[in-house]
Amino acid sequence: MAKDKLAFIDEDVANLKEQGLFINIRTIESAQGAWIVVDGKRVLDFCSNNYLGLANHPRMREAAKKAIDEFGVGPAAVRTIAGTLSLHHELERRLAAFKGVEDALYVQSGLCANQAAIPPLVGREDVVFSDRLNHASIIDGCRLSRAKIVVYEHCDVADAERVIKENLPNYRRGLLVTDGVFSMDGDVAPLDKLYEVAERYGVMTMVDDAHGEGVLGKGGRGIVDHFGLHGKFDVEMGTLSKAFGVVGGVLAGKRKIVDYLRQKARPFLFSSAVPAADTAACLAAVDILESSTELVDRLWENADYFKAEMKRLGFDTGNSMTPITPVMLGEAPLAKEFSRKLFDEGLFAMAIGFPTVPRGLARIRVMISASHSKQDLDQGLEAFAKVGKELGVV
Ligand SMILES: *Cc1c(COP(=O)(O)O)cnc(C)c1O
């Protein structure tokens, strides 16, 4: 008899379980917000990307319903055949204006955006310079391009320059790509200095602003606004699924590039458009962000308060400069047990381990939101203090 061809799955899953890396997926049974129902229990949500509380905002729900009445539910085609709606054009215009760039392209997700942008810019004869901690979707975009990938040390401008100098002469052209805000650590790339180096060598530049969009910069205009580099980066990739509270990815930047992506980007050419309801909700999010900085201000107040209190309690929150708050625990089984105990205390905060973060750097990643009240934050701090003492972490 032939051997069981699927036995490798049992072995691998057993392996994951043994290392504490098997993911138990929780089910959300309510709308998103500070308080949600998870696996039948009402808990305080400390781990979603709903930075501004927009995922269930009344103006956005209204906009989505209205769009369904006008346009229906399905996109019916890819953007390049019969799927481009007037709403898509309007959103792209508004996002470009919001970010202070020439043009923008709206695609299905942030992950798709990275796959859409990188392969048209570089190919087999080219080289990508990539930060060691770049997001998986950037890495996948680079791999799809078949360009040579050269990693530089995390946020290390001198190392980026070293690898450019060493490698660029052997290739046709180069692209430097970095996360803006690193999603698991909350630290910020030295974008101004990276830009200077890349420019000096004639290397194209791209930044993934998934966690800067709606968070950093004036009224949430993103990392490029934070550094005052408007119009300089060749491509700013972003997501509409985090602070913007909906779904979709955006590629913003120079018109020449964005127009080129309309011809070449495979997720744009080969996967159906984002439906009208989501697109309209994204438009409402831009309206909300442009009308006031109140939500972004509250997000930062909440995050600053929470991080300061966590430090006071003795937790290691790494090098975060943003509302992303990693609570460093080391080994994955400890992080999982910590998360389970927090859940018993009514606090939902998932443990994160390899391959999302390097081995031995497992953590609970707390995501603070503008929708948390002071009382919510204090309740969360109390749960962390209690579990931290029980498990000998603080
Ligand atoms: C979440 C994330 C993405 C993917 O965005 P989606 O819209 O969820 O597909 C890409 N890059 C980074 C840095 C992210 O954190």
HEC readout, 291-302: HCCHHHHHHHHH
- Residues 389, 345: Cα–Cα separation, whole Å: 14
pLDDT band at 1 (very low <50, low <70, confident <90, very high): confident
Q: Is residue 203 very low, low, confident or very high in pLDDT (cuts 50, 70, 90)?
A: very high
Give the rounded percent of residues in the chain with a pLDDT score beyond 90: 97
Mean of pLDDT values over 144-155: 98
Stretch 233-255: mean pLDDT: 97
Q: Of 291, 321, 352, at which residue does a domain stop? A: 291
Together in a domain, 67 and 176: yes
Mark whether 49 and 71 lie in a shared domain.
no
State the chain's mean pLDDT as an integer.
97
Banded pLDDT at 111 (limits 50, 70, 90): very high
- At residue 20, does pLDDT exceed 90? no
| Residue 193: exposure state from Cβ atoms within 10 A (0-12, 13-18, ≥19) | middle
How much distance in Å is there from the Cα of 312 to the middle of ligand 1?
31
Provide the pLDDT confidence category of residue 147 given band limits of 50, 70 and 90: very high
Question: What pLDDT is stored for residue 148 in this prediction?
Answer: 98
Q: What is the mean pLDDT of residues 191-195?
A: 98
What mean pLDDT comes out for the span 148-162?
A: 98
DSSP label at 169?
A: G
Residue 54 is given by DSSP the state G
Give yes or no: 137 in active site: no
Return the residue matching tokens 């990188």: 118
Atom of ligand 1 lying closest to residue 248 CA: 7
Over the stretch 292-322, which tens digit does the pLDDT of each residue have?
999 999 999 999 999 999 999 999 999 999 9
Does 189 lie in the same domain as 303?
A: no
Question: Does 136 map to a domain?
Answer: yes
Last residue of a domain, one of 269, 291, 313: 291
297 with 287, same domain: the answer is: no
Nearest CA to ligand 1 atom 8: 110
Indicate whether 15 belongs to any domain: no
Q: Does 212 lie in the same domain as 160? A: yes
Whole-number pLDDT of residue 276: 98
Domain that holds residue 311: 27-56+293-390
What's the rounded Cα separation, in Å, for the pair 381 and 308? Answer: 11
- Active site includes 183? yes
Looking at the structure, do residues 240 and 303 belong to the same domain, yes or no? no
- Our answer to whether residue 242 is catalytic in this structure is yes
What's the one-letter identity of residue 209?
D
User: What are the structure tokens assigned to 182, written together?
Assistant: 């690193």
Q: pLDDT confidence of 377, banded at 50, 70, 90?
A: very high
Ligand 1: which residue has its CA nearest to atom 7? Answer: 110
The pLDDT confidence band at residue 40, using thresholds 50, 70 and 90, is: very high
Same structural domain, 145 and 272? yes
242 and 142 belong to one structural domain: yes
Average pLDDT over residues 100-129: 98
Domain-terminating residue out of 260, 291, 322? 291
Residue 114 CA: nearest ligand 1 atom is: 10
Domain check: are 206 and 249 in the same one? yes
| Burial bucket for residue 158 (CB in 10 Å: 0-12, 13-18, 19+) | exposed
Task: Confirm or reject: Cβ of 79 under 6 Å from ligand 1.
Answer: no
Nearest-10 crossing angle of helices 276-291, 58-71: 140
Please tell me whether residues 50 and 101 are part of one structural domain. no
51 lies in the same domain as 183: no
Q: Assess whether pLDDT exceeds 90 at residue 114.
A: yes
In a domain? residue 13: no
Q: Where are the alpha helices (DSSP H) in the chain?
A: 7-18, 58-71, 86-99, 110-121, 136-145, 157-167, 191-200, 223-227, 255-264, 266-270, 276-291, 294-313, 332-344, 374-390
| pLDDT(21) > 90 | no
**Which whole number is the average pLDDT over 20-45?**
95
pLDDT (average), residues 347-364:
94
The alpha carbon of 339 and the centre of ligand 1 are apart by a number of angstroms equal to 23
CATH code of the domain covering residue 210 = 3.40.640.10
Stretch 243-252: mean pLDDT: 98
* pLDDT above 70 as % of the chain: 100
Structure tokens at 300: 């930062």
